């Protein structure tokens, strides 16, 4: 069944494949006609600054350059399970969204069509809706599906491609943890937001002579903590890639005190890891207070306060880092990614993800794009530079 879809679909595209032709337009512009029909676009996973800029670029490039049509698919893959959640997007509908945070398409971190959890009669039932997604994709007469997401969403995209759906991926995440692209859009904005917060916390830390712990997002990668920490002048940066010992953090605080500096800024990645045999951590491990899951920043802040008998304040930046207007560089990257996705659709190069390599927008296969996260190399130049100026990573 699935295979038949794949063969039939591809042969339909092949039959209608025309050579590139240029059609003169009234304003002297030209629309390049390359067998370009209707494409769909959806977002998946957490939202991220720049999603709207990608949608706008896809709609405008598909319409202006190729005379094609774009369907906005709402609430991630849900829009292909329930096709009433699809709507045609013209350039008019995507006006004024370039600078807007969030996503006009909506998104969800749940809703994997291969493993869809629904509540029925008070029970959770799991469905495989992949067949329905394929049928609705065909019924909407879509030529290609542009999927904008991180590792989880792009893995779903890859699996749909394996079933014959002509998919094109666009890498999105504030975590910057996709290995096939130098940068994902959204990351620069998150680093800006976190740096701005650290700058503000810096002034209040200095006024009160306090130790300030700032927890940032990033899941299992330390990119946001490293870059925002360095840009914000952090004294200690704790990232998942370099496991820390609390004694080393205390040493840094003490060193600053000895130099007459009354405050310290400690930037903590949400996924940072304490060394398994850390004595301070182990001594407090069984205390009731920690039986409820506390975030990394809150645990570290509590232990510093208790052990050093000093005033500590913790700020967990959380979803602030995902909201708000994208930076100019993220607007540009999102726009270039959106256009590149349309170009792939025009060339019928499916099963690929657009990516940034150096200064070049290129693409790789979805197989290359997923399954391996990009973490901070502990010996990278940026880590070495941070160490050279006295930043502690809570390790030797």
Decide: is 173 part of the binding site for ligand F6P (CB under 6 A): yes
Around 227, how many Cα atoms within 13 Å sit in the side-chain half-sphere?
A: 19
Size of residue set near ligand F6P by CB under 6 A: 11
Question: Smallest gap, in angstroms, from Cβ of residue 172 to ligand F6P?
Answer: 9
Q: Is 151 in the site for ligand F6P (CB under 6 A)?
A: no
Cα 151 to Cα 36: distance, rounded to the nearest angstrom = 28
188 part of the interface to ligand F6P, by CB under 6 A: no
Spatial separation of the C-alpha atoms in residues 320 and 303, rounded to whole Å: 25
User: Which of the following is catalytic: 47, 78, 151, 175?
Assistant: 175
Question: Which residue from 80, 154, 217, 346 is in contact with ligand F6P, where contact means CB under 6 A?
Answer: 217
Q: Should residue 101 be labelled a site residue for ligand F6P when binding is judged by CB under 6 A?
A: no
Does the annotation mark 379 as catalytic? Answer: no
Residue 108 within binding range of ligand F6P, rule CB under 6 A: no
174 binds ligand F6P (CB under 6 A): yes
**Candidates 169-177, 249-257, 348-356, 362-370 — which segment interacts with ligand F6P by CB under 6 A?**
169-177
CB of 152 to ligand F6P, least distance (A): 9
Tell me the residue nearest to ligand F6P as measured from the CB.
217
8 Å CB contact between 370 and 221: no
Q: Is 221 exposed, middle or buried (0-12, 13-18, 19+ CB in 10 A)?
A: buried
44: left (phi over 0), alpha (psi -120 to 50) or beta: beta
Site string for ligand F6P, 357-396 (x = CB under 6 A): ----------------------------------------
Is residue 109 at the binding interface for ligand F6P, with CB under 6 A as the rule?
Answer: yes
Shortest reach from residue 274's CB to ligand F6P, in Å: 18
- Give CA 121 to chain center in angstroms: 35
| Member of 169, 218, 229, 297 binding ligand F6P (CB under 6 A) | 218
**Residue 181 touching ligand F6P (CB under 6 A):** no
Tell how far CA 288 is from the center of its chain: 35
Name which of 335, 52, 354, 313 is nearest 200 in CA terms: 313
- Check: CB of residue 337 under 8 Å from CB of residue 185: yes
Give SS3 for 200.
Answer: helix
Q: Would you count residue 184 as binding ligand F6P (CB under 6 A)? A: no
CB-nearer residue toward ligand F6P: 74 or 223: 223
Question: How far apart, in whole angstroms, are the C-alpha atoms of residue 90 and residue 146?
Answer: 16
Cα separation, 235 vs 265, whole angstroms: 5
Quote the CA–CA distance of 365 and 253 in Å, as a whole number. 47
Query: Given the rule CB under 6 A, which of 98-106, 170-178, 275-283, 385-393 is the region that contacts ligand F6P?
Result: 170-178
Binding interface with ligand F6P (CB under 6 A):
46, 109, 150, 173-175, 217-219, 270, 322
Residue numbers annotated as active site: 175
């Amino acid at each position: 069944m699935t295979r038949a879809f794949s063969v039939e679909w591809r042969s339909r595209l092949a039959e209608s494949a025309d050579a590139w032709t240029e059609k003169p337009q009234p304003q002297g512009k030209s629309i390049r006609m390359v067998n370009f029909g209707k494409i769909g676009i959806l977002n998946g996973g957490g939202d991220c600054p720049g999603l709207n800029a990608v949608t706008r670029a896809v709609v405008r490039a598909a319409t202006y350059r190729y005379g094609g049509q774009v369907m906005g698919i709402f609430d991630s893959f849900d829009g292909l399970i329930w096709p009433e959640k699809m709507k045609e997007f013209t350039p008019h509908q995507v006006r004024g969204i370039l600078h807007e945070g969030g996503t006009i398409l909506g998104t969800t971190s749940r809703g994997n069509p291969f493993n869809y959890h629904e509540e029925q009669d008070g029970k959770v039932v799991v469905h495989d809706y992949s067949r329905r997604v394929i049928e609705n994709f065909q019924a909407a007469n879509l030529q290609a599906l542009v999927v904008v997401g991180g590792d989880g969403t792009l893995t779903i995209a890859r699996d749909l491609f394996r079933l014959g759906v002509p998919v094109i991926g666009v890498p999105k995440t504030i975590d910057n943890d996709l290995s096939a692209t130098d940068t994902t859009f959204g990351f620069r904005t998150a680093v800006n937001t976190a740096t701005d917060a650290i700058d503000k916390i810096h002034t209040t830390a200095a006024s009160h002579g306090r130790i300030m712990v700032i927890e940032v997002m990033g899941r299992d990668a330390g990119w946001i903590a490293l870059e925002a920490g360095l840009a914000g002048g952090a004294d200690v940066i704790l990232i998942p890639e370099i496991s820390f010992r609390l004694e080393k953090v205390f040493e840094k605080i003490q060193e600053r005190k000895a130099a007459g500096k009354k405050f310290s800024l400690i930037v903590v990645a949400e996924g940072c890891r304490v060394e398994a045999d850390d004595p301070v951590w182990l001594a407090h491990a069984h205390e009731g207070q920690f039986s409820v899951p506390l975030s990394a920043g809150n645990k570290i802040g509590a232990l510093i306060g208790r052990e050093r008998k000093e005033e500590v304040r913790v700020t967990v930046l959380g979803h602030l880092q995902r909201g708000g207007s994208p930076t100019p560089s993220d607007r540009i990257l999102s726009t270039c990614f959106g256009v590149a996705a349309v170009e792939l659709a025009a060339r019928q190069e499916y099963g690929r993800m657009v990516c940034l390599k150096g200064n070049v927008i290129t693409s790789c296969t979805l197989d290359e794009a997923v399954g391996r996260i990009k973490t901070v190399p502990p010996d990278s130049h940026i880590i070495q530079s941070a160490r050279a100026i006295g930043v502690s990573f809570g390790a030797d």
